[in-house]
Amino acid sequence: MEFPFDVDALFPERITVLDQHLRPPARRPGTTTPARVDLQQQIMTIIDELGKASAKAQNLSAPITSASRMQSNRHVVYILKDSSGRPAGKGAIIGFIKVGYKKLFVLDDREAHNEVEPLCILDFYIHESVQRHGHGRELFQYMLQKERVEPHQLAIDRPSQKLLKFLNKHYNLETTVPQVNNFVIFEGFFAHQHPPARKLPPKRAEGDIKPYSSSDREFLKVAVEPPWPLNRAPRRATPPAHPPPPSSSLGNSPERGPLRPFVPEQELLRSLRLCPPHPTARLLLAADPGGSPAQRRRTSSLPRSEESRY
């Protein structure tokens, strides 16, 4: 794959490793150095064109590798260049491989769920004109050594049939572990996990699931009585045949019965006058109907104005 700029000068080494920052690699001494912005723009152009070519080779609707995706994810891309043939003295790009670590939930051979974070093969492409020349194995082996992983420890995202045949031919990876996602892992994936795979607790049956914890259940056993008057339970007894008259006072306590109706003062005095005298009072009046002589003299000796006070 050729470009209108000098690829051989942009990538001094045969295989160049780029991260999300897409920084230009160190240049060889004695070479002219264009503006750094121009170098980064050239790198972004290469990655975009490689992503389009890979998507076309895999019959994908859209590229899964681009410069913008690289800058927004912690992925690493290995780019292989052709320095032997230099058309127009500018070099060419043979292919690339993109990898990155991802958190996955995968099934083992016993169909148990495991939470792992392996190195994943996210995209792999070698130009059609130079396939079956050993370039793919050279690039893949360089990546394994650089990342310090074994082939069976990898997880491959939606591999094509060409990639599966490539892994079977060069690394004897044939038996896969069925998964429910788009990733493919091979037999031996769980044998050398570093760090070891974290297994999730087994899913409990529906009948074992409780709506609250044991501590909550112990708390609910303690009956906490609310303050008065909220602690008065509503009475469910049948109402009496002749209910008492309603009270005219507002805000009465629930425990207190209804008050008697208000009696006017005149009616109260009338009832007192009609009330018969007590037997003891009758005896006192019979014994001294006019009161004592001293009391009568004291009353009669008073002036009329003083008598009017009484």
Binding-site residue set: 124-137, 160-169
Which stretches within 16-129 are classed as H helix? Answer: 36-57, 67-72
Tokens found for residue 180: 């429910």
In angstroms, rounded to a whole number, what is the distance separating the alpha carbons of residues 282 and 293? 20
Cα distances (Å, whole numbers) of residue 214 to 79, 217, 221, 222: 58, 5, 11, 13
* Contact of 155 with 119, CB cutoff 8 Å: yes
Residue 50: phi and psi, rounded to 5, are -65, -40
Other Cβ atoms less than 10 A from the Cβ of 72: the count is 10
Task: Name the DSSP letter for residue 105.
Answer: E
In angstroms, rounded to a whole number, what is the distance separating the alpha carbons of residues 51 and 99? 14
Partners of 176 in beta bridges: 186
Other Cβ atoms less than 10 A from the Cβ of 148: the count is 9
Task: Name the DSSP letter for residue 169.
Answer: H
Tokens found for residue 297: 């003299």
The C-alpha angle 242, 244, 249, rounded to 5 degrees, equals 160
In angstroms, rounded to a whole number, what is the distance separating the alpha carbons of residues 187 and 178? 10
- Which residue positions form the known binding site for acetyl-CoA? 124-137, 160-169
Crossing angle (nearest 10°) for helices 135-147 and 161-171: 70
The C-alpha angle 130, 132, 135, rounded to 5 degrees, equals 65
